[in-house]
């Protein structure tokens, strides 16, 4: 049995965004059965949790003897089980894995940084200058991505784990119109997020928020 761990509560801005939904989405696409166990923000700081996830984060994936963390690694692991999220063709398969890294190591870092800066440092006097610099970097990456995707339905051949992760990365820009208003990226993002498996993943995460906020 596959088990994934998620939070039992998060603040409003994080609802539907915590990275366990990326793993749920992959499992739903592949039709694999799984159970969800939830943990609290108090528990994530314990040594017991650190033995599963050294950076005190979510999600964790368990399957027999294997305990795995990092949503990107987990999605890749699920995808490698068959040919639903990665092509059976060895070249297309490796290229899609390349795009997994592209999503997470080239496109996501400046976006995640901007999100973190917004949450933590919105009131600092250096906030506006840093955000402008970040926007320049993000828009540069988006322009290259749009240039590549122009005329393509998916990143490599059919919908793959790479599209799943790229769309998850782009979602973090939903408060801007940088993706939505782009004639290539907007429709691409819509194609990804209209998949039933994506909706089930988000609904699953929302339904599991049955805990309460940590004490202050």
Q: How far is the CB of 73 from a copy of itself (least distance, A)?
A: 4
Task: Determine, following the binding rule CB under 8 A, whether residue 77 of this chain makes contact with a copy of itself.
Answer: yes
Contact status: 196 vs a copy of itself (CB under 8 A): no
DSSP-assigned beta bridge partners for residue 38: 6
The answer to the question of residue 137 lying near a copy of itself (CB under 8 A) is yes
Cis? peptide before 212, omega within 30° of 0: no
Give the residue, chosen from 113, 118, 172, 176, that forms a contact with a copy of itself under the rule CB under 8 A.
113
Helical pair 185-193 and 161-171, crossing angle rounded to 10 deg: 110
Region from 6-14, 136-144, 177-185, 196-204 binding a copy of itself, contact rule CB under 8 A: 136-144
Please give the order of strands across the beta sheet that includes 66-69: 34-39, 2-7, 60-63, 66-69
CB of 94 to a copy of itself, least distance (A): 6
Name the token pair of 75. Answer: 């999605």
Nearer to a copy of itself among residue 13 and residue 148 (C-beta) = 148
- Nearest Cα neighbor of 19 from 57, 64, 56 is 57
Q: Which of 3, 37, 46, 91 binds a copy of itself (CB under 8 A)?
A: 91
**Among 13, 37, 94, 119, which residue sits at the site for a copy of itself (rule: CB under 8 A)?**
94
**Prior bond of 203 cis (ω within 30°):** no
Q: Using CB under 8 A, pick the residue from 14, 133, 206, 213 that binds a copy of itself.
A: 133
Instruction: Tell which one of 78, 145, 156, 161 touches a copy of itself (CB under 8 A).
Output: 145
63 pairs with which residues across the strands? 2, 66
Per CB under 8 A, does 214 bind a copy of itself?
Answer: no
**Residue holding tokens 């939830």?**
38
Classify 111 as helix, strand or coil: helix
Total of chain residues touching a copy of itself, rule CB under 8 A: 52
Radius of gyration, alpha carbons of the chain: 18
Q: Residues 22, 24, 44, 97: which binds a copy of itself (CB under 8 A)?
A: 97
Distance of CA 106 to the CA centre of its chain: 14
Strands (DSSP E) found in the chain = 2-7, 34-39, 60-63, 66-69
Where does this chain bind a copy of itself (CB under 8 A)?
A: 50, 54-57, 65-70, 72-74, 76-77, 90-91, 94-95, 97-102, 104-106, 108-110, 112-113, 116-117, 120-121, 124-130, 133, 137, 141, 144-145, 147-148
């Amino acid at each position: 049995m596959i088990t994934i761990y998620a939070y039992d509560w998060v603040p409003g801005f994080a609802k539907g965004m915590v990275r366990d939904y990326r793993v749920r989405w992959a499992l739903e696409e592949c039709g694999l059965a799984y159970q969800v166990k939830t943990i609290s923000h108090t528990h994530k700081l314990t040594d017991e949790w650190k033995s599963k996830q050294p950076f005190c984060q979510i999600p964790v994936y368990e399957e027999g003897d294997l305990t795995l963390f990092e949503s990107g690694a987990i999605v890749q692991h699920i995808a490698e089980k068959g040919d639903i999220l990665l092509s059976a063709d060895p070249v297309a398969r490796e290229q899609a894995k390349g795009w997994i890294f592209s999503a997470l190591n080239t496109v996501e870092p400046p976006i995640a940084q901007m999100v973190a800066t917004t949450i933590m440092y919105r009131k600092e006097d250096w906030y506006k200058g840093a955000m402008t610099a970040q926007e320049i970097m993000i828009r540069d990456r988006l322009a290259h991505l749009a240039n590549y995707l122009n005329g393509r339905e998916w990143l490599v051949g059919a919908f793959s784990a790479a599209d799943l992760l790229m769309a998850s990365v782009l979602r973090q820009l939903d408060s801007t119109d940088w993706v939505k208003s782009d004639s290539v990226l907007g429709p691409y993002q819509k194609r990804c997020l209209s998949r039933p498996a994506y909706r089930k993943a988000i609904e699953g995460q929302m339904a599991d928020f049955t805990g309460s906020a940590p004490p202050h």
